[in-house]
Structure 1
Amino acid sequence: MGESFLSIDLGGTYTKYGLIDQEGNVSKTHRIITPKDLSGLLEEVNLMISEYPNSKGIAISAPGAVSHSGVIHGTSAIPYIHGPNIKALIEQSTGKMVSIENDANCAALAESWKGNAQKVQNAIVIVVGTGIGGAFIHQGVVQRGKHLHAGEFGYMLIKHEEQWSSWSELAATSSLRKEVARQKSIPYESIFTGEQIFEMASNGDPECIRAIKQFFYYLAVGIYNIQHMYDPDIILFGGGISAREGFITEIYREYEALTENMHFETIRPKLDTCSFKQHANLVGAVKHFLQSEGN
């Protein structure tokens, strides 16, 4: 293994980190609950770097509209990262060089570098987590957009029960948990993890079965819109839930049910998971670090 980097993937529920080398090889990954405030995050990053003191630098994948300066604009499930210069704060705290990129852009960078988008010109990457992020790859290059919002598919509006909701509100893992809580009439804060919901569904729990079906239905609705707007070669999925066996099959099932009775021609998209699966953001963050350093 050559030079290695501490790579960190900030998520609304969990934060993953690990050691990634300059060729994109992953080793020693870990997962912690995402800290509740900025001071907690800085403390955790210092603990991480103490585990890997020989890391060349820190590569971070984060939700939101990440500027070159290190300020993260927009909104996400981690409110405290928006506003302060996270890059500068972590550099000051650790003494290490830091790069930060949007999480979905990181997934796209990983896939165009070493993964399932290496041999295509135009691709979409969708990261399903506590919220939904995304990225465009156009002619082999990740697009950021005028306001750093290219690929923010989670903001897409979809009608649900006579009200407009964002795609993130309907088809992210947090929405799956909220729907189970609603059906069971229990507080969201006490609801199960996504993994537990799928396990309960496999054991016949009717509320979990209905919530999962709705979850995949709204994923299919969003994919239908994206496919017909951009018509990419492939749509790739990242995020922890994408590693579930049968994930793509379930999306296709709902997609085909959605389009079955349409009276006009539709396109059946090519869907796959990111080759790096739940590690795509970690690998792409390192690719962004290398690009930032001119490597």
Structure 2
Amino acid sequence: MDKSQKLYVGIDLGGTSVKVGLCDRLGKLLAVYEGPTEAEKRAEGVLQNIELYVRELVGREGCDWEQIAGIGAGIPGFLDMETGVVKASPNLGWKDVPVKAILEERLGKEVRIDNDANVAALGEVWSGAAAGIPNAVCYTLGTGVGGGIIIKNVLCQGYSGMGGEIGHLGVVPAEEAITCGCGQKGCLETVSSATGIIYMAKEAVIRGEQTSLAHIRELTAKDVLDAAKAGDQVAARIVDRAADYLGKSMALLSVVVNPQRFVIGGGVAKAGSFLLDQIDHHFRKYALENAKTNVDIVPAILGNNAGVVGAAGLHVFG
């Protein structure tokens, strides 16, 4: 490895595992190391693990420590990005943890933190599906709906770090709305996440609708998507509803931030063109002409590595 090139470390912190990645200036992922989070050790123990994993990765790759130009971390929860404090992370059981200060003291490098969905979006913009696109919006469709907004190559964090919380756009009308985990009603997350899709499927089964889903004991979003692909009309209606509200949310964002590209990632997005084509149809149905011309919707390509790449990119796009 060229000892003169600057390198960036990205940390993707999850409830069960920590992934650490090493990237070059262009966002190329050079190496990855993964270890257990051990959340039961509380913040002090987890941050000690992170230090060990970072040093292990850098040492294993034969890099000089001086080559590390910065370290970034993607963390689930509510964060104060400016101070580097994790205000609350339910997945980790953290509250008011000064992650930036602790890691900087342990590692002797500048550390930046951001929401895990934001850094995944940044990864796709740096070297993934939106590389070279300065204005993009990225969705992560999983247990919830995460997102990240990039405007002129800058991650939109907003005044209090709530920028890009796409899953909590209120797109569902009151007469159809259910309560979201955030406490509000009508959030996109209640219909277009894996959780929302499963909820709608179970409700259809309870109502006695004729569907193959009634014969599946532990329903997953994949079951619903597969049934829709196979021609199950109830499943197809559920998927169309999820796609409809995703398209509507994109139409709203298209007249607020006017992105050139929407990137769709996460477990639900593994349904591929079957889902993306429906989302695209609904987006174009709702969006204004000038806000949808030459705008495309594409799948994410970095997969599970988007978080480490984007976290490393916090020092390039900051």
TM-score by length of 2: 0.68
Deviation track 1:91-116 (CA, whole Å, cap 9, x = no partner) reads 78x87966422223313432343234
Matching of residue 241 in structure 1 with residue 262 in structure 2: no
Tell me the residue number matched to 2:308.
282
Does the 8 Å contact 1:6/1:49 carry over to 2? no
Aligned to 2:56, what secondary structure does the other structure show?
coil
Alignment of 1:190-269 (within 5 A): 191-246=218-273, 247-256=275-284, 258-259=285-286, 267-268=291-292, 269=295
Closer/same/farther in 2, CA of residues 250 and 21 from structure 1, 3 Å limit: same
Q: Give the alignment partner of residue 67 of structure 1, picking from 64, 81, 97.
A: 81
Q: Give the alignment partner of residue 141 of structure 1, picking from 147, 154, 157.
A: 154
The alpha carbon displacement at 1:67 in A equals 2.0
Does the 8 Å contact 2:123/2:306 carry over to 1? yes
Query: Letter of the aligned partner of 2:237 in structure 1?
Result: R
Does the 8 Å contact 1:7/1:20 carry over to 2? no
Closer/same/farther in 2, CA of residues 220 and 77 from structure 1, 3 Å limit: farther
Closer/same/farther in 2, CA of residues 211 and 91 from structure 1, 3 Å limit: farther
Aligned to 2:167, what secondary structure does the other structure show?
helix
Alignment length (residue pairs): 281
Closer/same/farther in 2, CA of residues 96 and 112 from structure 1, 3 Å limit: same
Tell me the residue number matched to 1:7.
11
Tell me the residue number matched to 2:197.
176
Aligned to 1:46, what secondary structure does the other structure show?
helix
Q: Identify the range of structure 1 (230-239 vs 177-186) with the bigger mean alpha-carbon deviation.
A: 177-186
Aligned to 2:256, what secondary structure does the other structure show?
helix
The alpha carbon displacement at 1:71 in A equals 1.9
Q: In structure 2, how many angstroms separate the alpha carbons of the residues matched to 1:76 and 1:224?
A: 31
Q: In structure 2, how many angstroms separate the alpha carbons of the residues matched to 1:277 and 1:255?
A: 24
Gaps of 5+ in 2: 59-67, 178-184, 207-212
Deviation track 1:160-193 (CA, whole Å, cap 9, x = no partner) reads 461441122222222122222332349xxx8434
Closer/same/farther in 2, CA of residues 90 and 249 from structure 1, 3 Å limit: same
Q: Give the alignment partner of residue 24 of structure 2, picking from 22, 25, 50.
A: 22
Deviation track 1:63-113 (CA, whole Å, cap 9, x = no partner) reads 33442333234x777373453334566778x87966422223313432343
CA RMSD of aligned residues (A): 4.1
- Percent identity between matched residues is 21
Does the 8 Å contact 1:171/1:215 carry over to 2? yes
Compare CA radii of gyration and give the structure with the larger one: 2
Does the 8 Å contact 1:72/1:83 carry over to 2? yes
Aligned to 1:285, what secondary structure does the other structure show?
helix
Tell me the residue number matched to 1:46.
49
Aligned to 1:101, what secondary structure does the other structure show?
strand
Does the 8 Å contact 2:261/2:296 carry over to 1? yes
Does the 8 Å contact 1:106/1:284 carry over to 2? yes
Query: Letter of the aligned partner of 2:196 in structure 1?
Result: S
Query: Letter of the aligned partner of 1:7 in structure 2?
Result: I
Q: Identify the range of structure 1 (154-163 vs 266-275) with the bigger mean alpha-carbon deviation.
A: 266-275
Deviation track 1:31-69 (CA, whole Å, cap 9, x = no partner) reads 999988674995698399569723379743223344233
Aligned to 1:150, what secondary structure does the other structure show?
coil
Q: In structure 1, how many angstroms separate the alpha carbons of the residues matched to 2:222 and 2:44?
A: 25
Tell me the residue number matched to 1:78.
91
Query: Letter of the aligned partner of 1:180 in structure 2?
Result: A
Closer/same/farther in 2, CA of residues 130 and 30 from structure 1, 3 Å limit: farther
Q: In structure 2, how many angstroms separate the alpha carbons of the residues matched to 1:208 and 1:28?
A: 41
Q: In structure 2, how many angstroms separate the alpha carbons of the residues matched to 1:226 and 1:241?
A: 21
Gaps of 5+ in 1: none
